[in-house]
Amino acid sequence: MNDSIPQNHSSKFVPDLERVLAASGMTQTMFGYMHFGDPGFMARAREGHRFQRKTVEKIESLLASGAKGK
């Protein structure tokens, strides 16, 4: 059995997303809406939601840019 976290599993990204969210000064709802078009994005990420590849690519791009706003 493979115990590694799948590439698209949100728990892999949550700590970094939390840092970007805190630095942005936005509410979690605004952050999710601005960056992913989804006001519930952070809540689902924290719950361990698995993302589609295009969402993972958006997350990776956001984290690479260190974006504070869109």
Tens-digit pLDDT profile for residues 7-50: 567 788 999 999 999 999 999 999 999 999 999 999 999 999 88
Angle at 25 between CA 21 and CA 29, to 5 degrees: 60
Query: Considering the entire predicted model, what is its pTM?
Result: 0.79
Query: Considering only CA atoms, which of 22, 10, 7, 33 is closest in space to residue 66?
Result: 22
Eight-state DSSP code of residue 9: B
Give the start-to-end residue ranges of the domains of the chain.
10-64
Helix ranges (H only) for the chain are: 14-24, 28-36, 41-46, 53-65
How many whole angstroms separate alpha carbon 24 and alpha carbon 22?
5
